[in-house]
């Protein structure tokens, strides 16, 4: 899952075309919080949020963002929700695109991607 929506043509702070890791779904960290208090939603509400995003409590969930910083918030929220399989992709997008052989998602759906050059 990724930390913010990324559309085709968006650019990162380094003016690199912002694409995505194939299979990633958007789970912006702010959705883990109660808008009035700024605190985490109750565990049941977090479980429901992530279930709606396709993350079942019994499955592994890997959180990523641009560099691995804001994705930590989702890992913590998943743990609060009882998802013991929550993990952080430390390098996140920055690491993923450092290897030109990795596929990159280019469409609005998680499964839409272009193969890497040469594959």
Task: Tell me, yes or no, if 65 is annotated catalytic.
Answer: yes
Determine phi and psi for 44, rounding to 5 degrees: -65, -40
Selected catalytic residue, list 1, 46, 65, 97: 65
For the stretch 28-33, contacts whose Cβ atoms lie closer than 8 Å and that sit 24 or more positions apart, written own/partner, are: 28/3, 28/4, 29/3, 29/70, 29/71, 29/73, 29/74, 29/77, 32/73, 32/74, 32/77
Active site residues: 65
């Amino acid at each position: 899952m990724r930390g913010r929506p990324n559309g085709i043509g968006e650019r990162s702070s380094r003016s690199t075309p912002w694409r995505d890791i194939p299979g990633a779904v958007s789970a912006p960290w702010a959705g883990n919080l109660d808008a009035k208090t700024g605190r985490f939603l109750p565990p049941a509400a977090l479980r429901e949020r992530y279930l709606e995003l396709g993350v079942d409590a019994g499955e592994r969930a890997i959180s990523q963002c641009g560099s691995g910083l804001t994705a930590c918030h989702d890992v913590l929220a998943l743990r609060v929700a009882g998802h013991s399989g929550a993990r952080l992709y430390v390098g996140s997008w920055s690491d993923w695109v450092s290897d030109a052989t990795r596929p990159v998602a280019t469409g609005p759906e998680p499964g839409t991607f272009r193969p890497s050059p040469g594959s």
